[in-house]
Amino acid sequence: MNKKIIQVRELSKNFVSFKKGEGLKASIKDFFQREKVLKEAVKKVSFDIEEGEFVGFLGPNGAGKTTTLKMLTGILTPTSGEAEVLGFTPWKRKLAFKKQFSLVMGQKNQLWWDLPPLDSYELFRHMYEIPYDEYKKSLHFLTDLLDIGASLETQTRKLSLGERMKAELIGALLHKPKVLFLDEPTIGLDVVSQKAIREFLKDYNRETKATIILTSHYMEDIKRLCPRVLIIHEGIILYDGDTSMLNKKFAQNKAIDVNFSRSVNKKDVQKFGEIEEWRELGARLSVPRAEVTQILARLIKEFPIDDVSVHEKSMEDIVSDIFTKKNVSI
């Protein structure tokens, strides 16, 4: 069994805000007696992550993903619960801990906007006290893996979004962190850049055995990179397990695609399941998983079918159903 790098036990985070009334009278009242509003962002979350794992962390906006990552990196202190990362309590912010992890947020920059990335890297080298020879070796390894050599001498502001994201990743990895937290690293990138970043992260995880947690709204990122997935919704972990098992765990229905050799009555087809798509000579039905064989036999018997196929729901649809609690058992 691999070493447990991240251990989380009943971790919770609450935020307190104050309700603001409308008008002068309400403002005066609020000045003397403000009404508190409590927001439970994360609710008693527990999980372990082993050395070298690449874990997807899914959830809609406001689900608690970024709040959890911020607690695991020491940016936020939890309201209650415990966590250990590399044997450290993150929010104690010990220097030895800060030198062993990186946090990359797709919507925030760590590189200086008016300087070329190489100048920022020099500063990082001194901050992390990286020996020069080790720094040059890491820089060569990362630039080669990301195929972004010449761009590093250009002002950060003049780089394309894809080039800038690659440069950000290099800056985050120069000190060879043992744990990498990635919050939407491919957000806003074109398809080619997304693929390049995915391939890099996959290779980097394989080469260095770094432990990686990835949040992303792009299901392709999760499918390609993460054998395991955590799903959080309204601050609660709904699923922790193999990505490949999502279908069996949550998808109560399967899809049956049928093509007819001649026109049929839509109402007659509706008797066999929920119609998700209707075509002139075909339809897609959503039917209970346990009844697929029986319904398939009846369809073939009662309709002039030219072709038929059965499909699992896509990961995008499954995750969407989980968040909307549609056709899933939670």
* CATH number of the domain encompassing residue 283: 3.30.70
User: Any idea what the CATH number is for the domain that residue 195 is in?
Assistant: 3.40.50.300
For residue 71, which of 52, 108, 46, 99 has the smallest C-alpha distance? 46
In terms of domains, do 108 and 213 share one? yes
- DSSP state letters, 48-80: EEETT-EEEEE--TTSSHHHHHHHHTTSS--SE
pLDDT recorded at residue 206: 92
Task: Please name the residue that has the structure tokens 């299901």.
Answer: 219
- What range does the domain containing 299 cover? 252-311
Q: Is 196 a domain residue?
A: yes
In terms of domains, do 216 and 85 share one? yes
Provide φ and ψ at 312, rounded to 5°. Answer: -75, 155
Please state, as a whole number, how many other Cβ atoms lie within 10 Å of the Cβ of residue 38. 8
In terms of domains, do 73 and 171 share one? yes
Task: Please name the residue that has the structure tokens 């036990």.
Answer: 9
Mean pLDDT in consecutive groups of 10 residues from the start of the chain, 330 residues: 88 84 68 77 94 92 89 95 96 94 85 93 94 94 86 91 90 94 86 88 92 88 91 89 80 86 91 90 89 92 91 74 61
In terms of domains, do 76 and 165 share one? yes
User: Which secondary-structure segment (H or E) carries 182?
Assistant: strand 179-183
Q: How does DSSP classify residue 116?
A: -
In terms of domains, do 241 and 257 share one? no
Q: Is 264 a domain residue?
A: yes
pLDDT recorded at residue 34: 73
> Among 247, 269, 300, which residue terminates a domain?
247
Reported as a single tens digit per residue, the pLDDT across 60-90 is: 888 889 899 999 999 999 999 999 999 999 9
Joined together, the tokens standing for residue 164 give: 């800038």
For residue 100, which of 122, 129, 123, 139 has the smallest C-alpha distance? 129
pLDDT recorded at residue 81: 95
Q: Is 260 a domain residue?
A: yes
pLDDT recorded at residue 258: 93
In terms of domains, do 243 and 299 share one? no
Structural domain count of the chain: 2
Is 179:211 a contact under the CB 8 Å cutoff?
Answer: yes
In terms of domains, do 211 and 156 share one? yes
Q: Is 100 a domain residue?
A: yes
pLDDT recorded at residue 8: 96
In terms of domains, do 175 and 142 share one? yes
Task: Give the pTM.
Answer: 0.78
In terms of domains, do 170 and 234 share one? yes
Question: CA end-to-end span of the chain, whole Å?
Answer: 29
Q: Is 323 a domain residue?
A: no
In terms of domains, do 126 and 275 share one? no
